[in-house]
Amino acid sequence: MTGKGKTSEETGIIRILLLGGVGEIGMNCMVLEKGGQILIIDCGVAFPSEPILGVELKIPDLRYIYERREQVVGIVLTHGHEDHIGAVPYLLREVDAPVYGTRLTLGLLKEKLQETRIHRKLRFQNISAGERRQIGNFDLEFIQASHSIAGVVSVALRTEQGIILHSSDFKLDPTPVDGKRMDLNKLARLGEEGVLAFFSDSTNVEQEGHTPSEKEVGKALFEIFKNAQGRIIVASFASHIHRIQQVLDAALELGRKVLIQGRSMEATTRIASQLGYLSLPAQILVPVQKAKSIPSEKLVVITTGTQGEPLSVLSRLARGEHKQLKVIPGDTVALSSKFIPGNEKAIQGLINDLYRQGAEVFYEKVSEIHCSGHASQEELKLVLGLVKPRYFIPVHGEYRHLVKHKQLALQMGIKEDRCLVVESGAVLEFRDGSGRVAGRMELEPVVLDANRSPVPEGILKARTRLAYAGAILISIVLEKGTGRILDLKLKAPGVLTEEGDREQLDEVRDRCQARLRMIDAGRKSVEEIEDQLLQEMKRLFKVRLRRRPMVFVLVTEV
């Protein structure tokens, strides 16, 4: 990471470092520096948008924070989605600082931390919308926001230069399921007080008009429920408490029992119910053992797996591999989520498999059973008009989203030189009411495998090369002192086959033997012999066979 510099301790200077979530989807992480102290807002993960061999997650490059861990006075979480809290367990391994979040956000985080070995007592602080809190020398106020998860807050930092406002993810839902609308009055008051910089969610900026209310999705789901003759299976993101609540309400009204399946769904509904965010009527819940005996027309199954994840409950049901449940003709399946870019092929395969099992499937492209949790253009313009920031920085989106959000800001009268379109790694500095891009850090996000272990860049490159070019494995046993070949074994997975490429395999063996005779193997070290054979094989496959597989040579002397 370059451009690190020193944390500014000069009074009145504020530095903001964007470690993720800007010019990309996911991995949201912002660092604020003021008076020699550091405050972190969110620390999330990203899921690869395209298949990367063996990679499950990406987390931000947190080295800048680790090098200044003693200066961190707090970690503030805006809400409980994975792209905002998923990397916190990794952060807390290195940084001993209190974590601030709403009860649901902290509840979801604590569940994640059960799988993390941190040998010290962690410090959690509940916050609430409408509350003002001093964290070190940061004067913060938390503002009610509306999104696709409960317990969401925007964050306002009061400084000598003006207010720095972080929107978090939001939409202006006029009829939210929990009745908690975005606090537009507070945003207007902050605008009158003077907002120096506004960091605003850009995810849905390409959508014209207004984002539909979550209750509209509930109405569409209820219609599907009313018309379903058999069992109903609803798949959604486990964190979407409001969606789950509407499914539960529909099941209760129509006299159906509910089976909750999937580890994340079971954990989230349990936590949300315990904390009062979800009404989970005990009389309609059934265990999987009892669900088998309930008539199909009286059962609803709530699970995850909307993105075609191969090990999810829904995917196993679609393939007929679930040990306790089967999809049967007459079942109705509702995929109540969007198609996340990069997952389309997996989702389409899932839908096809469900149809093969005899189910009727409803999904985003054929039914209004999902709506975004992010604000569309007219909502974004309304908020900009209320906040009236001196500087506007679009965040939480790919680069095109940031540019389009800037265009909306220009329409709302914000000057072009005060719309800062930057990407992850940008360092912003505010001094005497003026803002500028002060530099850029070269970030190296960490990629993790299924065991949540880091995967080095060199290993990723090797995996990619193996996947595209295959490998040549040559094992040779030589008589020590003479160099006579006692045994030569050759394997070429992904390159040549024993049945169809006999001529090429024979040529590889002949070239190995010729090279050994040429270099007088009896007088060379094992390392020299291996290097000579390696170079010979690379030349052969590049020039003669027009391929560049990975070549492995093992020589043993006996």
What is the rounded distance in angstroms from the CA atom of residue 75 to the CA atom of residue 99?
Answer: 5
Q: Is residue 556 over pLDDT 80?
A: yes
* Confidence label for 47 from pLDDT (cuts 50, 70 and 90): confident
Average pLDDT for residues 138-155, to the nearest whole number?
A: 97
**Angle at which helices 263-274 and 103-113 pack, to 10 degrees?**
140
Q: Is residue 23 over pLDDT 60?
A: yes
Query: Which of 134-143, 220-229, 303-312 has the lowest average pLDDT?
Result: 303-312
Q: What is the pLDDT of residue 409?
A: 97
Q: Is residue 69 over pLDDT 90?
A: yes
* Lateral strand order in the sheet of 485-491: 485-491, 471-478, 550-557
pTM comes to 0.86
| CA 452 to centroid of chain Cα atoms | 13
Q: Is residue 282 over pLDDT 90?
A: no
**CA dist 453 to 51, 276, 402, Å?**
17, 35, 32
Indicate the average pLDDT of the chain.
Answer: 90
Q: Is residue 7 over pLDDT 50?
A: no
Query: Which of 4-18, 38-52, 171-185 has the lowest average pLDDT?
Result: 4-18
For residue range 488-541, list pLDDT tens digits in order: 888 888 887 777 788 888 888 888 888 887 877 667 788 888 898 888 888 888
Question: What is the percent of the chain where pLDDT is above 90?
Answer: 68
| CA 213 to centroid of chain Cα atoms | 24
Average pLDDT for residues 358-373, to the nearest whole number?
A: 86
Structure tokens at 5: 């510099």
For residue range 383-410, list pLDDT tens digits in order: 999 999 999 999 999 999 999 999 999 9
What is the rounded distance in angstroms from the CA atom of residue 406 to the CA atom of residue 402?
Answer: 6
Domains and CATH numbers, the chain: 14-209+372-448 (3.60.15.10), 214-362 (3.40.50.10710), 470-557 (3.10.20.580)
For residue range 297-332, list pLDDT tens digits in order: 999 999 999 888 888 899 999 999 998 899 999 999
Q: What is the pLDDT of residue 3?
A: 43
Average pLDDT for residues 426-433, to the nearest whole number?
A: 96
Higher pLDDT, 303 or 369: 303
Q: What is the pLDDT of residue 406?
A: 98
Q: What is the pLDDT of residue 466?
A: 80
For residue range 493-508, list pLDDT tens digits in order: 888 777 778 888 888 8
Three-state secondary structure call for residue 290: helix
Question: What is the percent of the chain where pLDDT is above 70?
Answer: 96
Three-state secondary structure call for residue 176: coil
Q: What is the pLDDT of residue 50?
A: 57
* Confidence label for 171 from pLDDT (cuts 50, 70 and 90): very high
What is the rounded distance in angstroms from the CA atom of residue 398 to the CA atom of residue 294?
Answer: 47
- With beta carbons less than 8 A apart as the criterion, state whether 173 and 150 touch: no
- With beta carbons less than 8 A apart as the criterion, state whether 33 and 429 touch: no
Average pLDDT for residues 234-258, to the nearest whole number?
A: 95
* Confidence label for 22 from pLDDT (cuts 50, 70 and 90): very high
Query: Which of 144-153, 190-199, 372-381, 464-473 has the lowest average pLDDT?
Result: 464-473
**CA dist 333 to 145, 226, 263, 388, 440, Å?**
31, 13, 19, 45, 47
- With beta carbons less than 8 A apart as the criterion, state whether 158 and 188 touch: no
| CA 223 to centroid of chain Cα atoms | 32
Name the one residue in this structure whose structure tokens are 């690190």.
Answer: 4
